[in-house]
Each structure stands twice: as C-alpha cells, then as structure tokens.
C-alpha cells in the first residue's frame, strides 16, 4: 500500500484493503467470525474493521480474550477487552491458560500453542472462521525466523491467507497491511488500545527482529517486506507440489487400521523423497513443520532401530515412535478422568492423539467392530478413566478368569505407548469396557435389549 499524508485517506485505504481481502478469502460457508482479541493495537484494528464490514450482514462476531497469566496487567487487559466488545455490541468470551515453558520450546511458542488450543473449540465446523490480525510485518518476521531455523519451503511459506483450522478455517485478511498503517487507522478513528510491555523485550526473537533488524532492512530496501511476502507465496506453491508428491509416494503406505506409516514401504523411496514423505506425514500428525535433522533421525534412529528396541524421538510436534513395523506420532495426554451423563440418543466424542473415540447409544450409526455393553441404569454415573495401572484386575466378557490390565493389553496387541490413551469406561466405580476393545463380564447387553452403550474408534477429525 502507498502511504498518504492524509490520516483519513490512510485509514480508508486500510479499510479498502481489508474489505477486498476478507471478501476474497472468506469461505462462502462461513457465518460466524471468531477474533482472538487481546485489546492490543492489531486485534483492536481488526475487530473494528470486522464490525464495520459485517454490520447487518447476518454474520456473527465473537471476541475471545485469552488470559495467559504472564503479565500482571492481564486482568486489566481482559476488562478493557470486554468493555471494548460491549461498546461495539460484540459477544465477548474469555479463557484462562497457564503458560509453562517446556524444554526446547520458547515461552512465545508455548503461549501461541495454548492460545490456539483454547480458540479451537470456538471453531467447530465449516460455518466458523478464526480471523487473526497478522499483518505484513508479522509475515516478514515469520519468514526471517524460518530462515534462522533452517526451515524448508513449508516453513518459509509462513502464513497463508486462509487455511483449515480446528473444524473450520483460519483467515488472515491483513497480510498486505503494515503495522504502521494499522496504527494510523487506529489514530484516525480515535481507537484506544492496550500496550503489552513484553513486546519491547528484545530477548524474544520476534521482538528482536521487529525492533532492531526489520527497520534497518526496510530503511535500506523499501520493498523488503513485500519481497518476503512474495517469497512466502512462491514457497507455499512449492510446498503444495511437494505434498502432492508425498501423497503419491505414500499411497497405500499409511495403515487404514492403525494410521501408522509402514516402514517397509517408506524404505523403498530415495532419501530425498523419503524425507519429503516423512515431512508430510509428521506435519499432518503433529501440526508442526519438522526439521531436517528430525526427518533424518526419525528414519535412522526410530524406523531402523533394532527389533528388540522401542525407540522414541521427541520433537516440537510430539513423540515419534515405532510399533510392529510402523511409525506413529503421539502428542499430549488426555485428562486422567472425564465424567458425563449418558441418556437417550447419547453420543460423546473424545479426541485422542491419532484417533477419535466415540461412545454412543445410537445403534443405527455403529460401524463394524464396535464394542457394546448394556446401557447405564438410572442413577449410574458414566466416566472414562485413562492411564490406569497395569495391575488392575478385570474379567473381559467371554473369559472364565480375571486377569491384569497389562495382560489384556498384550492379548489385544495394544502398543505400550497407546495404552494410556485408551480409556476404561466405568458405571459408578465398576469397569464396564475397554473402549473400542472389549466389554467386561457382567455388563453384556441382553439379546433383546435395545439399550446399549457402544464404543469405537474413528479417524481423527
């Protein structure tokens, strides 16, 4: 965008750029917009632009404040954000997260991961999009950080204008607008905002680039940020092409039963194509772009490890593991216990790292391989419990004798790393079934009983 000395004209150009972008990239199915609203300058400009653009259009807007608990001012900022949303007649929500720096992960990255994690449930389907205030300076910083890390074309592709997110989309309509232009928009419209003091701490890599490096580069080369944007777009196209090659190379190589990557098929590829295929597989599983060193190590140290070993390789997107000739990725653990009420036409979906567990009484929807138990009686509370001790003694249906949970896992060939993800369904304090595997003795449904509780696994949504 060309700069103007007239603040009103400057603000109008920002509005025009936003309007053209959002109407071009917003999927036609979207009727609900979710905005991560911190009260800072970028999200304040975005919220105002969205309200102006979609007022009276029938598209709803929700502003969500994520309280990270890092700054002592976070509570004040939450109050400010709520008040601003009320002034604009926008629905307001707030979420609290606790940021703890993990090994080999920056505080910035951890906060970002948690932020997107709590925003994901607000985007349940294709009728909803998360709209972010990422602008041209953000994109330039992201490309430079990717170069610093030695990323490939996927990392250099940085952030696209529209991508899948959770059950819906994430859209970035301000990628052609600079930070200074957004500040000019705020000033011209008299919009106040909060200032996060951590944005001036150059110990953070992104702040260091923003405050010290990018100003020098743009002073020397005026169109530097636009050139980085163009490079990012070219890399995005290259990344799409490499994904197509990877999908062709791995046709039939991902087990439909387990979701694992069959090592024997992977071994037939050249080293270059193998790394590309692994990058595609682990990016889909871990939602992080794996590094070159990880791609080499996961094959040499995990896939090719001795048959007597159970190797693991930790990386930003989780833990790479091998089991029965296949590679997997695991990330995070579910809560130790989840309680819920199972009534008529009941269905509960629990997201696990590689699959989704469905517990339901809707018999007409049950695929082949479902495990069934009798429905809970009135007053019986249903819960699922994870990571139970292997010494727990259970008696599977159809077995004459009880045995330890550890032995049952082995009989059903459940890999060690997956066992803590498969819950035991309880009625009150009585174990009813190993979800998706087997029911317990005494809880079998009667032959003519229409009330049954099913469990089964399906592909991760």
d(CA 328, CA 282): 8
In this structure, are strands 261-262 and 326-330 parallel, antiparallel, or unpaired? antiparallel
DSSP letter at 367 equals: P
The first and second tokens of residue 140, run together, are: 């330039």
Question: What pLDDT sits at residue 87?
Answer: 96
Question: What pLDDT sits at residue 311?
Answer: 85
Query: pLDDT of 148-161, one tens digit each?
Result: 888 888 888 878 89
Question: What pLDDT sits at residue 7?
Answer: 80
Beta bridge partners of 404: 393
| Signed CA dihedral, 458, 258, 395, 441: sign only | positive
- Give the angle subtended at the CA of 357 by the CAs of 352 and 360, to the nearest 5°: 155
Q: How many CB atoms lie within 10 A of CB 7?
A: 13
Tell me which of 126 and 311 has the higher pLDDT. Answer: 126
d(CA 102, CA 165): 24
Query: pLDDT of 419-442, one tens digit each?
Result: 877 888 888 889 998 888 888 998
Question: What pLDDT sits at residue 327?
Answer: 92
Tell me which of 336 and 133 has the higher pLDDT. Answer: 133
225: pLDDT strictly greater than 70: yes
39: pLDDT strictly greater than 80: yes
Closest CA to 102 of 249, 282, 316, 351: 316
Question: What pLDDT sits at residue 334?
Answer: 61
364: pLDDT strictly greater than 80: no
Per DSSP, the three-state class of 44 is helix
194: pLDDT strictly greater than 90: yes
Question: What pLDDT sits at residue 371?
Answer: 81
Q: Could you give the dihedral angle defined by the CA atoms of residues 217, 221, 225 and 230, in that order, rounded to the nearest 10 degrees?
A: -130
Q: Could you give the dihedral angle defined by the CA atoms of residues 161, 213, 37 and 194, in that order, rounded to the nearest 10 degrees?
A: -150
Contact 354/286 with Cβ under 8 angstroms? no
d(CA 154, CA 278): 13
Question: What pLDDT sits at residue 460?
Answer: 47
**What is the share, in percent, of the chain residues with pLDDT greater than 90?**
49
DSSP letter at 325 equals: T
Per DSSP, the three-state class of 118 is helix
Question: What pLDDT sits at residue 419?
Answer: 82
Contact 184/4 with Cβ under 8 angstroms? no
List phi, psi (to 5°) of 321. Answer: -135, 165
Closest CA to 282 of 302, 257, 310, 304: 302
Residues composing the chain: 461
d(CA 364, CA 400): 31
In this structure, are strands 326-330 and 355-360 parallel, antiparallel, or unpaired? unpaired
d(CA 241, CA 234): 11
For the chain, domains (ranges, CATH) are 7-235 (3.40.50.620), 255-330 (1.20.59.20), 337-459 (no CATH)
289: pLDDT strictly greater than 80: no
26: pLDDT strictly greater than 80: yes
Please spell the DSSP secondary structure of 68-112, one letter per residue: -S-STTHHHHHHHHHHHHHHTT-EEEEEE----PPTT--HHHHHH
Question: What pLDDT sits at residue 268?
Answer: 94
Q: What is the mean pLDDT of the chain?
A: 86
23: pLDDT strictly greater than 70: yes
């Amino acid at each position: 965008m060309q700069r103007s000395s007239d603040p009103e004209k400057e603000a109008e150009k920002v509005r025009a750029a936003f309007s053209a972008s959002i109407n071009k990239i917003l999927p036609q199915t979207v009727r609900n917009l979710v905005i991560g609203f911190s009260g800072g300058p970028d999200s304040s400009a975005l919220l105002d632009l969205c309200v102006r653009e979609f007022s009276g259009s029938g598209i709803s807007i929700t502003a969500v404040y994520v309280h990270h608990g890092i700054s002592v001012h976070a509570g004040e900022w939450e109050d400010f954000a709520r008040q601003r949303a009320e002034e604009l007649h926008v629905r307001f929500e707030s979420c609290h997260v606790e940021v703890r720096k993990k090994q080999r992960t920056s505080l910035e990255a951890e906060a970002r991961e948690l932020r997107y994690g709590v925003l994901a449930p607000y985007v349940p389907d294709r009728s909803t999009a998360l709209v972010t205030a990422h602008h041209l300076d953000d994109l330039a910083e992201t490309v430079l950080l990717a170069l610093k890390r030695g990323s490939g074309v996927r990392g250099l592709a940085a952030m696209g204008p529209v991508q899948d997110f959770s059950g819906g989309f994430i859209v970035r309509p301000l990628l052609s607008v600079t930070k200074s232009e957004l500040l000019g928009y705020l000033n011209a419209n008299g919009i106040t905002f909060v200032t996060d003091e951590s944005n001036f701490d150059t110990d953070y890599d992104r702040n260091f680039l923003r405050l010290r490096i990018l100003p020098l580069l743009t002073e020397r080369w005026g169109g530097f940020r636009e050139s980085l944007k163009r490079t990012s777009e070219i890399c995005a196209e290259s990344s799409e092409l490499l994904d197509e090659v990877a999908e062709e190379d791995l046709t039939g190589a991902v087990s439909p039963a387990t979701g694992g990557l069959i090592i024997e098929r992977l071994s037939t590829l050249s080293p270059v194509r193998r790394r590309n295929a692994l990058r595609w597989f682990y990016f889909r599983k871990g939602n992080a772009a794996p590094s070159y060193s990880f791609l080499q190590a996961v094959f040499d140290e995990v896939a090719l490890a001795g048959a007597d070993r159970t190797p693991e390789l930790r990386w930003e997107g989780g833990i790479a593991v091998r089991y029965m000739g296949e590679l997997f990725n695991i990330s995070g653990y579910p809560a130790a216990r989840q309680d819920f009420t199972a009534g008529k036409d009941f269905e509960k979906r629990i997201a696990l790292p590689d699959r989704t567990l469905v517990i339901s009484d809707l018999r007409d929807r049950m695929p082949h391989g479902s495990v069934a138990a009798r429905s809970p009686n009135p007053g019986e509370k249903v819960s699922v419990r994870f990571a139970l001790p292997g010494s727990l003694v259970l008696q599977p249906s159809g077995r004459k004798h009880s045995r330890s949970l550890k032995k049952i896992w082995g009989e059903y060939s459940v890999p060690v790393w997956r066992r803590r993800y498969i819950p035991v369904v309880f009625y009150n304090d009585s174990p009813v079934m190993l979800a998706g595997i087997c029911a317990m003795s005494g809880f079998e449904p009667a032959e003519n009983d229409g009330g049954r509780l099913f469990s089964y696994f399906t592909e991760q949504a």
